[in-house]
Each structure stands twice: as structure tokens, then as C-alpha cells.
Structure 1
Amino acid sequence: MISSSPTREAIKHLTLFLGALIVLLPFYVMLSYSFKSPKEIETNTGGFFGAQAMMVDEHCVALGNPRKDCEQRPVVFNYTQAFKESPLLRYMLNGVIVTASIFFFQVLISVPAAYALSKLQWWGRDTVFQLVLFSLLIPIHAIALVIPWTISVFGIFLMRQFFKTVPDELLDAARLDGMSEFSIIWRVMLPTAIPALMAFGIFSVVAHWNDYFWPKIVITGDRELFTPPLGLREFKGDADGSAWGPMMATATVIVMPLIVAFLLAQKKFIEGITLSGFK
């Protein structure tokens, strides 16, 4: 049995450190591979940034006398190929449009539903909320095949938990001022729920920005409509292997907006999760 507080704290920090290593390892490999040549990736050499220049001009190689300007650092070649071989900026724009649209409709539905489940008294309210909780157990892709993403049971649950912390006196004051229930939702409840919305936004944007299954079903051939994860297929080979360097460079470009967004919103994210009852 652990008795001393310093020992418990040390174990906690060690556990968090090991968890951070496990989470960060794939990002380390992705970033490192985006800097390396194919040979260095295959042999797992070159350190983190890679050390070997790449021959990128086939004409120079065919001459048997390659010039110095026929060589590039892998980091330059991989990231150049990421934008050259696929319309990566177009894929990023498609991802923004898809994730922003989904989040907008999720908020449009989740906020009124959460308000009704937390602040209004009506027959069957608890039963409906139990159905919402049960829906969390259904695989997300099974739901996607019926009603693509517009109804988020997780969003309803999260917002409902947050709305339970809002004092009823605030709503009574709004009703005395003559506000309707819908006015209360959008003009009183929504502004108070910004931390919860930020938390829900992180979950929603990450899930749909990285989604591969549903876009692969509905986008059958038009390359201009690809979302970022589908764009990674541009560098996947079959018998001749995959272009791992450009693929990892593309993955790095795709994941960077999510990392930046989380770092900017992490305070509100933690606040929203805490106030919504996830402790």
C-alpha cells in the first residue's frame, strides 16, 4: 500500500509521462519520415531529420553524371511532392467545409435538445435522455449510414450536462422579461455554454476532419471533392510500394491545423469538459 504523498505524485507523473510517450510516438514517426529519403525510411537510418540527399531528376540520373542541382534534401522533395502530386490545398478546403458544416448543424440540433432535456419539465424526459445515452453505444459508422452526422447524441449529452449547471433563476428572469423558450436557448443559454461548445467542437472537428470511412463511401470518383484523409491515398502504391516520404509530409500538413486549434482552445476545452461533469 502506498502511504506517502510524494510517492503517489511520482507514480501519477510517471503514468502521465508514459501515456504522453505512447500518444506522441506516432507523431514523432510521421514527422521524422517526412524528412527522410525512401532508403532511409526502409533501413530506419538517418536520425530524426535524415542525412541523405535525393536524386530527383531522372534525366540527370540517366546521363550517369548527376549534377549537384539534381539533388534535393528529402524534406524539400517530400513536401514539394505532397503539394505537386495532389491538390492538397483543395483537400484542406474540402475538409474545412465538411467539418464546419457538420458542426454547425450539430449545434443547431444539440443545443435546443439539450435545453429541453435539462431545463424543461415534460412527460418522458428521463426516458428520452436514457435513449440518448443508449445511442452513445451505437457504432458511429452505423449511424452515419442512416442520418449522416447531423444529430450528435454525444453533443446532446454534453450540452445537457452543462445546462444542468446553469441556475434556474437565470431562466426565470428571462421569462419574466417576456422571452420565448427559443429566445432563451439562443440568447441566454448559448452564450453561457461557450466552454462546452469549444469542447464539443474539438471532438466534432477532429472526428470529421480525420474521417475516412464515410467520405470514401459517398465520394466515388471526383478527385476535387476528396477530403484530407482521402488525399493520403494519392501516395499509396500497390505492387510498387508507397511513397512514404510524401505521404508523411501530407499527413503532417493535414494534422497541423488540429494541433494548433487544440493548443489555442485547450483552456476552454478543459473548462467545458470539467463543467459538463466529466471528472
Structure 2
Amino acid sequence: MIVAQSSASRIAAHAVLLTGAITMVFPFLWMLLASATPQSEIFSGSLLPVPTIAGAVQNYGTALTAIPLLRFMMNGLIVCLAILVLQIVIAIPCGYALAKLSFPGRPLLLSAVLLGLLVPVQIPTVPIYIAVAKSGLLDSYAALILPWIISVFAIFMFRQFFVTFPNEVLDAARLDGFSELSIAWRIMLPAAWPAVASFSIFSIVAHWNDLYWPLVVTTNPDMMTPSLGIAYFRQSGEGAGQVGALMAGGVLVTAPLVAVFLFMQKHFIRGLVLGRH
């Protein structure tokens, strides 16, 4: 009886998970099929579009020529990598200090980091925009990058990871003459690669898909990021009503994120597990 109930529970759990997976994957499957389906046949009445080679050539050709999609993706790559590198450069020493150093005000600073996690990104938009505009940085990489170089999420995540690191190793490094910054970069950072991989996925996905801030500080099409570029294509004359081409653009913009996650998924899961304590 107990074995039968256990088997039934597992089957029910797998059924729920499978249903959820199909529900989440179906929109991406539809987008992929529609991106290779002729425009006149996308809404032909069938549940799933029927792709053809001619439809794929037409839709992907339109997506790549009607707008500078490759330029948008290059902008996204530059912005995401610059933000990620600067976030890690700032967050590693901060997380190390909060985890392993004793100094006055450390609990207060940690509380401030936790409070920062509760603040929506839209709250400081107006003062940051005014500062960017007054500095003459609108429609520039600086406007897209600088407001995001300090990540309280990264600081807290690395702090949680560093807390579990053995203090004996740090004491031995200090006896060998290592400075605190040397310990942070030469000892803690190599040990924190799983956490770095986990945070990298969070950061890249968030800023690659970000539509809100680029929409605020960017009007020049040459400076648009992928999400804003797709929205620009949808509203432009070339993209109006071109559902197949729009889906092709969506596939091209989404593919790098899928590749990054598949490449780093093992480190991503390990980083989440090790940093939960």
C-alpha cells in the first residue's frame, strides 16, 4: 500500500512538472515555428504554424535587413558585458568585507544591502535620469551602463557565498603577507566561480531583456539594445503586421541567452546550492 501511494505521488508530481514545462515551452516553440512560416499561413487555423524554407528565408531576411538587428545585439553584448564586469569588480570586495572582516557599522551596511534588495528599479529612475541628462550622457553607452554597476543583489550573493569559506585559509594567507584585497581577488574569487557563473546569468538575462531603462535614456536607433530594438521594429513601418519577421527577430535575440544558460547551467546550479547558507 505504501509503495503504491509513493508511486502515485511520484507520477502525480511528474505530471504536474510536465504540464508546467509544456506550458512554459509552448510559447517559445510557437515563436520558433512562426519565425519560419510564411506570413499568410501563420494564422491559418492550425494550433502550430507549419514552417517552410521559403518562409524562414523571408522572415529572417526581413528581420536582419529591415532594422539593424545585429547592431542592436552588439549594443546588448557591450552593455551586458560591461555591466557584468563592473558589478563583479565592485561586489567581490564588498561581499568579502561583509562576510569576513570586522569593522564598525558592518551590521548597518548589511542591513542597507538587504533594504536595497527591496527597492524596485523604477523608484530612483527620475533622479538618475536627471543626473544622466545633466551630464550630457543620453544616447550613450555610459547612460546604459553606469546606473547598474553597483548591484546589491551581487553583493549579498557573494557575501552569502564567502561566509561559508574557511577562516583558517584566510588566516594562513594573512600570515604569508597577503593584503585583504589580494585575498579577495587571488583566493576568494577563484573559489567563487560557481557564484560568479550564477550571478552572470542573472545579470546578463536581466540587462539583455531590459526594455525600461534603454527606453528612458535612448532615442537614437544606433544605441538601442535588443529588447528595445524589437519594440522599435514592431512599431516601425517595416515591422507593422510582419508577425513572422517579428518572431524571427525574437528567436535571434533569445538564442544567445539560451546558449549562455546551457553552457553555464552546471555552474549556475552549483552556485545557487553553495550560496544558500
TM range (shorter): 0.7 to 0.9
Aligned residues: 257
Cα 1:50–1:120 change in 2 (3 A) is same
One-letter code aligned to 1:271: R
Give, in angstroms, the shift of residue 39 of structure 1: 2.6
Aligned: 1:81 with 2:62: yes
One-letter code aligned to 1:197: V
Alignment of 1:41-56 (within 5 A): 41-45=42-46, 47-50=48-51
Aligned: 1:135 with 2:127: no
Rounded to whole Å, the distance in 2 between the matches of 1:88 and 1:133 is 38
Rounded to whole Å, the distance in 1 between the matches of 2:61 and 2:184 is 48
SS of corresponding position for 2:71: helix
One-letter code aligned to 1:258: L
Cα 1:93–1:238 change in 2 (3 A) is closer
Judge which range, 14-23 or 101-110, deviates more: 14-23
Identity of aligned residues (%): 42
Higher helix fraction: Structure 1 or Structure 2?
2
Q: CA RMSD in A?
A: 2.4
What's the TM-score, normalizing by structure 2?
A: 0.85
Alignment of 1:250-269 (within 5 A): 250-269=249-268
Rounded to whole Å, the distance in 1 between the matches of 2:32 and 2:181 is 48
Q: Which residue of 2 aligns with 1:211?
A: 210
Give, in angstroms, the shift of residue 44 of structure 1: 3.9
What's the TM-score, normalizing by structure 1?
A: 0.85
Contact 2:195 2:275 in 1 (8 A): yes
Rounded to whole Å, the distance in 1 between the matches of 2:24 and 2:124 is 28
Structure number with greater Rg is: 1
Q: Which residue of 1 aligns with 2:151?
A: 152
Give, in angstroms, the shift of residue 146 of structure 1: 5.1
Aligned: 1:8 with 2:9: yes
Rounded to whole Å, the distance in 1 between the matches of 2:20 and 2:124 is 31
Judge which range, 246-255 or 33-42, deviates more: 33-42
One-letter code aligned to 1:269: F
Give, in angstroms, the shift of residue 109 of structure 1: 1.1
Cα 1:7–1:106 change in 2 (3 A) is same
Which residue of 205, 230, 233 corresponds with 1:232?
A: 230
Q: Which residue of 2 aligns with 1:38?
A: 39
One-letter code aligned to 2:233: F
One-letter code aligned to 1:244: V
One-letter code aligned to 1:8: S
Rounded to whole Å, the distance in 2 between the matches of 1:160 and 1:229 is 31
Q: Unpaired segments of 5 or more residues in structure 1?
A: 52-71
Rounded to whole Å, the distance in 1 between the matches of 2:162 and 2:213 is 31
Rounded to whole Å, the distance in 2 between the matches of 1:88 and 1:73 is 21
One-letter code aligned to 1:233: A
Aligned: 1:272 with 2:253: no
One-letter code aligned to 1:208: H
Alignment of 1:196-207 (within 5 A): 196-207=195-206
Contact 1:110 1:151 in 2 (8 A): yes
Rounded to whole Å, the distance in 1 between the matches of 2:3 and 2:106 is 45
